[in-house]
Structure 1
Amino acid sequence: MTIESIIRDIVREEVSRLPPNRLSAHDPLELLTIGAVAALLSTSPDYVYDRVADGELAAVSLSGTRRKMRIRRSDLEAFIRTRL
């Protein structure tokens, strides 16, 4: 069991106590690949990597390489909100 799975379980338990109208349609801790983020933004993976390198978009590195980089859905949503 990883720390991430423990945190997910705690968050899910807390969220389950919220009224139904307060629930999000997506898991905010969901980790997205760079390709998935690029597809959601209708852009290229290079654009996503550039935003991460510039510090505009937070990323999690699972092994210290670009290939294992992931973006939390909540970080992507925050990034999008800053662009509106």
Structure 2
Amino acid sequence: MVDRNAKRGRPPRKRYAETAIENVPSPIPRTPSVALDEARLRQQAIGVRLRQMFDDVVNEDVPDEFLDILRRADSRTAEKG
């Protein structure tokens, strides 16, 4: 790794492994805040409702007019091909 300070005429910075941040679990258990719990519950409720709405749309009948348009387009494609 190139030290940018060396390019500027400064002495290289010393890096020690002991001063690096360690990924050690905290001895004090963290409790989630009430606001975070409420936000998660809201997100969950929104997700449930969106899935319900999606299922409703997917299960709707296709209008007859749209089916007629699709049939005409298929017949034109079959005539050409």
With normalisation by structure 2, the TM-score equals 0.21
Q: Larger radius of gyration, structure 1 or 2?
A: 2
Which structure shows the bigger proportion of residues in strand conformation? 1
